[in-house]
Amino acid sequence: MLQQSASDRRGILALLVSAGAAISLPASSAAAAAAPARAAAPSPLPVPPLTETYVNAEGFKFNYPPDWVVAFDRTGSSGNGAVIVVGDFRALITVSVFRTTTVAEAVLRAGLSEENGYEICVEPQQRQAMRFQLLRSTIAAAAAAGAGDGAAREAEGSVSAAYDFEYSLESCQGEVEEGLGGTLRCLGPFNNVIPSQRRHHIGRCLLINGKAYSLNANTPEDRWVQVGPILQAVVDTFGPA
């Protein structure tokens, strides 16, 4: 009896399929029925006023929106590393300024180029990445951001041209394992596969008073279309104080 019922259901299903094939739907209706609904692409958010100005005694400054918060400020510290971190952390936006004290004398004399700018400000991030894609690497107008006092310092030779960069990287909070065919996996403490994180970065690097300072603004890759213009606006304000 159960077999008969199952057979009946298969027969009814076959009839429904045949009937559906015999019905001629308008082209638009057929396409709508065949294609799954697509979510609308996110639109860029408006760039808010950058009314907050951060000025650092080491010689740089930048502007950011008033609702962002300062995570930490290590002004006065020494060595390589982050000096200041601000952002809208609920929106997963982070802006950091990194200091590099180990800059070759030849670079300080000649100024930043695409090659040495990449080596100083981008390559350290690439070395730690699971996957990396360079999107932009260029020399900007000399000390274009943060006009005013920057022009005088440029004339004195303490500030060189700016190096602008953009890249996307995928990072792993555990161990990266390379499998067959070069496939990479991110493994947790129990050798389990854990999610990796992909973020979009843009920034600017400057030589100021014998050190390199790079502002790095980043957000998850899937948020880039929405908040990218905001991050670019912040990067554009980075310059000598």
Domain range 52-240, its CATH number among 3.40.50.300, 2.70.210.12, 3.40.1000.10, 3.10.25.10:
3.40.1000.10
Question: Could you tell me which residue, 212 or 25, shows the higher pLDDT?
Answer: 212
Bridge partners (DSSP) listed for residue 167: 134, 201
Residue with the two structure tokens 């950058």? 50
* Average pLDDT of the residues of the chain: 83
Encode pLDDT of 78-118 as tens digits: 999 999 999 999 999 999 999 999 999 999 999 999 999 99
pLDDT reported for residue 208: 96
Secondary structure (H, E, C), the chain: CHHHHHHHHHHHHHHHHHHHHHCCCCHHHHHHHHCCCCCCCCCCCCCCCCCEEEEECCCEEEEECCCCEEEEECCCCCCCEEEEEEEEHHHCEEEEEEEECCCCHHHHHHCCCHHHHHHHHCHHHHHCCCEEEEEEEEECCCCCCCCCHHHHHHHHCCECCCEEEEEEEEECCCEEEECHHHCEEEECCCCCECCCEEEEEEEEEEEECCEEEEEEEEEEHHHHHHHHHHHHHHHHCCEEC
Encode pLDDT of 19-36 as tens digits: 344 434 344 444 445 556
pLDDT reported for residue 19: 38
Question: Could you tell me which residue, 185 or 225, shows the higher pLDDT?
Answer: 225
- CA dihedral angle for residue 65, residue 234, residue 95, residue 207, rounded to 10 degrees: -140
- Structure tokens belonging to residue 181: 């065919």
Encode pLDDT of 91-101 as tens digits: 999 999 999 99
Q: Determine how many CB atoms are found less than 10 A away from the CB of residue 9.
A: 10
* Residue boundaries of the structural domains of the chain: 52-240
| Whether the predicted pLDDT of 181 surpasses 50 | yes
Mean pLDDT of 180-205: 91
Question: Could you tell me which residue, 174 or 85, shows the higher pLDDT?
Answer: 85
Model-level pTM?
0.76
pLDDT reported for residue 68: 98
Mean pLDDT of 166-180: 91
Encode pLDDT of 147-160 as tens digits: 444 444 444 445 56
pLDDT reported for residue 3: 45
Encode pLDDT of 9-22 as tens digits: 444 334 333 334 44
